[in-house]
């Protein structure tokens, strides 16, 4: 049993009293709508056998019960335990039985009906309840429902009494439906979406389906309407009419063909014996309507009414209409005849304070953030979202792949190949499609996630295909078509001789070839495959767990090169951390296992490109740049001639203002605006930037930044908001090395040390350890701890994936410096420095470090590593030290302002930045390597009494933390990382890229160009004392 007395699914509609109110689409203005959200009485028991059985009676005393807010998850209110698990069922898997304690929550809500609701049908609506519920009204059992992410509605008219009424709901945490809800997210319970009542007339518009079709040139449209009118008593509807009116965004009615028909024609529709049932009961030709797309999400409003024989409005309702056409032919996905790429992300419902009970504000914040960061698509992984989320996607312009609430990962294909579960599979698909069918944002229906493949999926696809042929059908699991001559069974040895995508013979009932986590190379192989004639999409890719999302640009270089690649959906949108406080009141984000939940999958729910508080993680800035809709490349950089490529599909460049700025050594010295060139969608145009070349210096570095801002305010951003940018380093200009300070430097050697000294400084190098154990300028120690070589980094989540490759393959480097063997120390002929040579305990690798000094106290460091023939890749090659916490300000000329890495720095601009030193770190939910800044020409840390400047020769990467690497590596949560009275500084040649094709296999590691795999590396830098940040800027 999956339901009892539950009403049939339909589109999200609200009854209104007249056309004018219906046009507002504001349900709060309807006299026939009443919210039941708010405070309910609540009783919780951890075992179903202990649940109360008589609480539904109207006179039951609930004064001793707790209060709980609805919607909510009861685990977030202190009842029971949140459970995070990815694949493993949270109960012993023996379908259909639940073989563990089944917590139950009992809810009571008293309500009064308005007097004017008499003689109307009262419908009780639950937006989402996890996982199953029984419903009573005034002590009478109304019905049962299961399925956690879709509405359940009941007609409660016959159960109501005059005056006060009592609604009772008993919710079970687990049901046999939970076997179909094994998604990778927090398992939480309760009434987690809104509850409300609507009062329908005896003859009401029960459902409304709307489609749009465009002509062959995508200009004019046909509006197609199929209403369902429900008569709940013996009403004579002769002479009654159904009427439709279309309005534009200004509220002006659009002139159309007459859109009216007798209600009896709808009620008594005759269906054909053969051929398909025609969709449209009403049609209207619309001359050149504004087309809906993610770029221009123009919405019309359709208001429909039922009028009685006297012309009085009996019922009115409304829905938005977006005129658009989805196609997928010749392997290319198109909207309104134009090829479209999906810059998408997977999104789970998640709130750091409310769990799965996401507020409308949080939904809107998500959509706004997506728009501002150049994302244009979302997959509702792995269940239908609240209708309001789709409303926002319609309004602001986000393409949606709507996914059925279906995943059986823990038992793979058991259920889809079992006829006992066919109805449950199809019911979930039907209810999703029926509810969401009118949203123009939805481009396709997904049959769920990671549930094997079999006849039950085919049944879902068959119903959807017949009901809605206007959208594509997606299911990643539909791999392998036994009817194809190229079919290779997965059980065959031949299958495993090729990459998994070498068998692209997906079932014919899906319209796209969908894959998870292919590498860019495998993705390109799919695109070139002669056997694939359908569009190709990555339903999941770029697994963004922790410090991740490396080499995203490579994926998009491949995608843009092949018309049959639709794009993809990053995994995933938000870190699913839950805001908690430790015993000292320090906040942190909890993940799997932190609540004693068993089974659990730890921090595998922390995969987002936004943090749990919905702030942008560094990876999101990379997405914004890689996804930007405008790109500029040089035609002749010396003469400042450029080409702009308009990556948009429907919009010219007119909405954008073109700006430019020229930076000299990171500081703006010229800037201006340029008339925006005419450039049609998908085309390119040339333009010139009027840089005053006469003012350029030969001995300075120049960066030209070209940007595109919104010329006018939009729904989602203000005028001047930056959409896209590109930067270019001008050739023929180079900063001259700083002059060497004059003055004498003396080198002296003892058994353990070499000391370099001048008039105002001493530098002591410990020969055995290869470190600068002391650096004094004017008698003041500059370092808190020695400057020393470093080959290790605190592991990222990707580093720990694939069998812990950083520990399996690279662990030998962690203690290499501590265990290296001193070979020799040779003082320079001019007495200003010393070369120390060491043998590293990694395949006899060699480290040479040249320390030298200038008379002003500048310390020069040059290091070279020569790896043994069988030495593994380096996690990093650099130096580290600790400096006083009094150095509270940092400036740098490098990539910023946010954290960036070797394979994730396209979205960071080269400029001069200044920031509090403590802000250079980034606090990942699970502490790990963080805060790197790439390509720094120099950086300086200073306080009231001066500080230090580090200059690369020519560049270094660096990071600064208020804790040690050991502190970071030992911590499991951000509150466990102490704040020290010093800063740890890393000065690196490079470190391993962050990677992230996935976070569980060998593909987690950075792509080969971003690994330290070469035989040898060499780099140099200087450290000099400075009085202030301002002095450091002048020294470069």
> Which among 535, 417, 531 is positioned nearest to 484, based on CA atoms?
531
Q: Is-contact 588 582, C-beta < 8 A?
A: yes
* Three-state SS at 105: strand
Given this model, what pLDDT does residue 198 score? 98
Q: Are 387 and 155 in contact (CB under 8 A)?
A: no
Same fold yes or no, 32-200 and 341-625: no
- Check pLDDT > 80 for residue 743: no
R_g over Cα of the chain? 33
Average pLDDT of 565-578?
Answer: 98
199's CB contacts (< 8 A; 6+ apart) are 15, 32, 113, 114, 117, 120, 121, 122, 123
Query: Domain spanning 203-321: which CATH class is it, in words?
Result: mainly beta
Which tokens go with 889?
């300000």
Q: What is the arithmetic mean of pLDDT over 972-1001?
A: 97
Q: What is the pLDDT of residues 47-88, one digit of tens each?
A: 999 999 899 988 899 999 999 999 999 999 999 999 999 999
Give the max Cα distance, the chain. Answer: 111
Checking if the pLDDT of 505 tops 90, the result is: no
pLDDT of residue 273: 83
Q: Which residues are CB-neighbours of 719 under 8 A, at least 6 positions away? A: 709, 710, 711, 712, 713
What's the distance, CA 1001 to chain centroid?
21
Across the range 598-623, mean pLDDT stands at: 97
Res. 490: pLDDT tops 80: no
pLDDT in tens, 331-365: 999 999 999 999 999 999 999 999 999 999 999 99
pLDDT at 1024 over 70: yes
**In angstroms, rounded to a whole number, what is the distance separating the alpha carbons of residues 206 and 10?**
7
CA–CA separation, 319 and 302 (whole Å) = 5
* pLDDT tens digits for range 365-420: 999 999 999 999 999 999 999 999 999 999 999 999 999 999 999 999 999 999 99
Q: Which of 379, 6, 35 is nearest to 198 (CA)?
A: 35
Tokens standing for 760? Answer: 């105002």
- The token duo for 304 is 């429909």
User: Mean pLDDT over residues 733-747, rounded?
Assistant: 79
Measure the CA–CA gap between 145 and 424, rounded to whole angstroms: 12
Burial category of 372 from C-beta neighbours within 10 Å (exposed 0-12, middle 13-18, buried 19 and up): middle
389, 431, 966 from 12: Cα distances, Å = 12, 11, 54
Question: Among 362, 407, 450, 899, which one carries the catalytic annotation?
Answer: 450
Torsional class of 539: left (φ above 0), alpha (ψ -120 to 50), beta (otherwise):
alpha
When pLDDT is averaged across residues 490-517 and rounded to a whole number, the result is: 79
pTM over 0.75: yes
The DSSP letter of residue 113 is -
Question: What order of strands is seen across the sheet that includes strand 140-146?
Answer: 3-4, 140-146, 132-137, 164-172, 104-112, 38-45, 66-70
Tell me the pLDDT tens digit for each residue of 918-962.
999 999 999 999 999 999 999 999 999 999 999 999 999 999 999
Q: Which of 232-246, 394-408, 556-570 has the lowest mean pLDDT?
A: 232-246
pLDDT for res 892? 99
The two three-digit tokens of residue 1004, written as one number: 């987690």
CATH class of 32-200: mainly beta
Query: Residue 736: its pLDDT value, please?
Result: 78
The pLDDT score that the predictor gives to residue 772 is: 96
Percentage of the chain exceeding pLDDT 90: 90
Residue 500 confidence (pLDDT) above 60: no
658-662 own/partner pairs: CB under 8 Å, 24+ apart: 658/687, 658/706, 658/707, 658/708, 659/706, 659/707, 659/708, 659/709, 660/689, 660/691, 660/704, 660/705, 660/706, 660/707, 661/704, 661/705, 661/707, 662/691, 662/702, 662/703, 662/704, 662/705
Q: Of 75, 51, 192, 176, give the one whose Cα is nearest residue 129.
A: 192
Q: Cα(294)–Cα(527) distance, rounded to whole angstroms?
A: 25
Preceding amide of 572 cis, omega within 30: yes
DSSP 184: S
In sequence order, the 6+-apart residues with CB closer than 8 A to the CB of 188 are: 73, 74, 75, 76, 82, 130, 355, 356
pLDDT at residue 497 above 70?
no
Task: State how far the Cα of 10 lies from the Cα of 513, in Å rounded to an integer.
Answer: 30
All structural domains of the chain with their residue ranges: 32-200, 203-321, 341-625, 629-729, 746-1035
> May I ask the CATH class of domain 629-729?
mainly beta
The stretch 306-315 carries a mean pLDDT of 97
List the one residue out of 190, 573, 536, 567 whose CA is nearest residue 382: 573
Query: Between β-strands 536-541 and 332-335, what pairing exists: parallel, antiparallel or unpaired?
Result: unpaired
Q: How confident is the model at residue 316 (pLDDT cuts 50, 70, 90)?
A: very high
**Rounded Cα distance, 277 and 818, in Å:** 78
Give the pLDDT confidence score for residue 272 in this predicted structure.
84
Q: Taking 70 as the threshold, does the pLDDT of residue 499 lie above it?
A: no
Dihedral of CA atoms 639, 640, 645, 648 in degrees, nearest 10, equals -160
Distances (CA, A) of 769 to 773, 811, 829, 1013: 9, 20, 23, 25
- Burial label for 85, CB within 10 Å (0-12, 13-18, 19+), is buried
CATH 2.40.10.120 given to domain 746-1035: no
CA–CA dist 505, 560 (Å, integer):
24
Nearest to 902 by CA among 610, 523, 629, 547: 547
Alpha-carbon distance 813 to 139, whole Å?
70
Q: What is the mean pLDDT of residues 998-1014?
A: 94
Measured between alpha carbons, how far is residue 572 from residues 294, 620, 818 in Å?
Answer: 20, 11, 39
The answer to whether the Cα torsion of 800, 806, 812, 816 is positive or negative is negative
The 10 Å Cβ neighbour count of residue 169 is 26
Report whether pLDDT(740) > 90.
no
From the candidates 407, 434, 524, 540, which is the catalytic residue?
Answer: 540
Say whether pLDDT at 999 is over 90. yes
Residue 805: its H or E element? helix 801-808
Q: What is the dihedral of CA 906, 909, 913, 919, to 10 degrees?
A: -30
Quick one: CA dihedral 809, 810, 811, 817, positive or negative? positive
Count of H-run helices and E-run strands, the chain: 12, 61
Strands 399-403 and 377-379: parallel
Average pLDDT of the segment spanning 855-861? 93
pLDDT reading at 734 higher than 90: no
Enter the CATH code of domain 341-625: 3.20.20.80
Q: Is residue 540 annotated as a catalytic residue, yes or no?
A: yes
Is 450 a catalytic site residue? yes
Average pLDDT, the chain: 95
């Amino acid at each position: 049993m999956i339901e009892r007395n539950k009403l049939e699914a339909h589109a999200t509609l609200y009854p209104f009293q007249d056309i004018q109110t219906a046009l507002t689409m504001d349900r709060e203005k309807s006299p026939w709508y009443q919210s039941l959200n708010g405070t309910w009485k609540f009783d919780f028991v951890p075992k179903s056998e202990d649940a109360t059985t008589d609480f539904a009676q109207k006179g039951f005393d609930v004064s001793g019960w707790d209060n709980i807010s609805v919607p909510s998850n009861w685990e977030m209110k202190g009842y029971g335990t949140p459970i995070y698990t990815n694949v493993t069922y949270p109960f012993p898997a023996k379908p259909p039985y639940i073989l563990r304690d089944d917590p139950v929550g009992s809810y009571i809500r008293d309500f009064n009906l308005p007097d004017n609701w008499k003689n109307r049908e009262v419908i009780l609506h639950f937006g989402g309840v996890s996982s199953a519920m029984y419903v009573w009204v005034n002590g009478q059992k109304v019905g049962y429902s299961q399925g956690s992410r879709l509405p359940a509605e009941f007609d409660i008219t016959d159960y109501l009494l005059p005056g006060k009424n009592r609604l009772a709901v008993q919710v079970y945490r687990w049901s046999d439906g939970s076997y179909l809800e094994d998604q990778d997210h927090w398992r939480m319970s309760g009434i987690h979406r809104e509850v409300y009542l609507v009062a329908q007339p005896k003859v009401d518009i029960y459902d409304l389906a709307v489609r749009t079709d465009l002509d062959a040139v995508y200009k004019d449209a046909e509006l197609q309407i199929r209403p369902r009118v429900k008569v709940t008593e013996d009403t004579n509807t002769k002479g009654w009419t159904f009427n439709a009116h279309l309005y534009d965004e200004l509220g002006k009615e659009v002139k159309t063909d007459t859109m009216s028909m007798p209600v009896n024609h709808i009620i008594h529709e005759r269906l054909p014996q053969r051929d398909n049932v025609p969709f449209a009961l009403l049609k209207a030709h619309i001359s050149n309507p504004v087309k809906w797309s993610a770029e221009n999400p123009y919405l019309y409003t359709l208001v429909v009414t039922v009028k009685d024989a006297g012309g009085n409005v009996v019922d009115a309702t409304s829905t938005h209409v977006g005129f658009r056409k989805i196609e997928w032919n010749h392997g290319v996905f198109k909207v309104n005849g134009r090829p479209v790429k999906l810059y998408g992300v997977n999104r789970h419902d998640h709130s750091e304070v409310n769990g799965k009970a996401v507020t409308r504000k949080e939904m809107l914040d998500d959509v706004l953030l997506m728009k501002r960061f150049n994302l244009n698509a979302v997959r509702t992984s792995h269940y239908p979202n609240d209708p309001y989320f789709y409303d926002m996607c319609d309004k602001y312009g986000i393409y949606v792949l709507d996914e059925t609430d279906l995943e059986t990962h823990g038992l793979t294909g058991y259920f889809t190949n079992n006829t006992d579960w066919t109805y449950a599979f199809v019911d979930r698909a039907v209810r999703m499609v029926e509810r969401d069918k009118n949203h123009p944002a939805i481009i396709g229906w997904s049959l769920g996630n990671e549930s094997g493949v079999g006849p039950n999926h085919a049944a879902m696809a068959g119903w959807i295909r017949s009901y809605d042929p206007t959208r594509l059908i997606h299911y990643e699991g539909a791999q392998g078509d036994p009817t194809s001559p190229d079919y290779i069974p997965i059980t065959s040895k031949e299958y495993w001789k090729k990459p998994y995508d070498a068998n692209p013979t997906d079932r014919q009932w899906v319209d796209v070839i969908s894959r998870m986590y292919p590498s860019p190379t495998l993705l390109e192989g799919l695109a070139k495959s002669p056997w694939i004639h359908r569009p190709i999409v990555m339903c999941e890719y770029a697994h963004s767990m922790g410090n991740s999302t490396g080499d995203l640009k490579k994926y998009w270089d491949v995608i843009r090169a092949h018309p049959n690649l639709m794009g993809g959906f990053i995994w995933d949108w938000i870190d699913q951390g839950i805001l908690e406080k430790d015993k000292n009141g320090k906040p942190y984000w909890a993940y799997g296992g932190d609540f004693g939940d068993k089974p659990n999958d730890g921090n595998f729910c922390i995969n987002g490109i936004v943090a749990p508080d919905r702030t942008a993680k560094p990876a999101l800035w990379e997405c914004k740049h890689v996804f930007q809709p405008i790109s500029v490349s040089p035609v002749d950089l010396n003469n400042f001639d450029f080409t702009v490529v308009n990556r948009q599909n429907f919009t010219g460049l007119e909405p954008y203002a073109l700006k430019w700025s020229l930076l000299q050594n990171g500081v703006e010295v010229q800037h201006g605006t340029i008339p925006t060139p005419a450039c049609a969608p998908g085309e390119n145009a040339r333009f010139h930037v009027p840089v005053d070349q006469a003012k350029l210096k030969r001995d300075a570095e120049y960066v030209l930044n070209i940007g595109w801002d919104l010329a006018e305010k939009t729904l989602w951003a203000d005028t001047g908001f930056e959409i896209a940018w590109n930067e270019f380093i001008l050739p023929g200009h180079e900063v001259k090395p700083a002059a060497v300070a004059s003055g004498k430097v003396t080198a002296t050697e003892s058994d353990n040390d070499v000391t370099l000294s001048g008039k105002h400084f001493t530098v002591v190098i410990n020969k055995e350890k290869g470190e600068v154990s002391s650096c004094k300028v004017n008698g003041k120690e500059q370092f808190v701890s020695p400057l020393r070589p470093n080959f290790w980094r605190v592991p990222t989540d990707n580093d720990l994936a694939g069998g812990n490759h950083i520990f399996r393959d690279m662990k030998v480097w962690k203690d290499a410096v501590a265990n290296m063997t001193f070979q020799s120390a040779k003082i320079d002929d001019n007495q200003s420095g010393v070369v120390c040579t060491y043998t590293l305990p990694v395949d006899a690798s060699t480290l040479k470090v040249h320390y030298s000094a200038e008379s002003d106290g500048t310390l020069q460091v040059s290091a070279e590593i020569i790896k043994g023939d069988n030495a593994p890749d380096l996690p990093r090659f650099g130096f580290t030290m600790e400096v006083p916490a009094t150095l509270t300000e940092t400036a740098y000329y490098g990539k910023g302002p946010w954290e960036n890495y070797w394979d994730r720095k396209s979205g960071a601009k080269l400029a001069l930045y200044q920031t509090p030193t403590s802000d250079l770190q980034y606090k990942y939910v699970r502490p790990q390597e963080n805060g790197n800044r790439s390509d720094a020409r120099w950086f300086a840390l200073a306080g009231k009494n001066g500080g230090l400047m580090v200059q690369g020769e020519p560049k270094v990467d660096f990071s600064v933390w208020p804790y040690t690497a050991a502190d970071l590596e030992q911590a499991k949560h951000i509150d466990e990382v102490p704040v020290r009275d010093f800063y740890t500084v890393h000065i690196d040649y490079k470190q391993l890229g962050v990677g992230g094709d996935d976070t569980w296999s060998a593909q987690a590691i950075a792509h080969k160009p971003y690994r330290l795999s070469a035989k040898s590396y060499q780099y140099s830098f200087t450290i000099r004392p400075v009085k202030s940040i301002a002095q450091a800027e002048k020294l470069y």
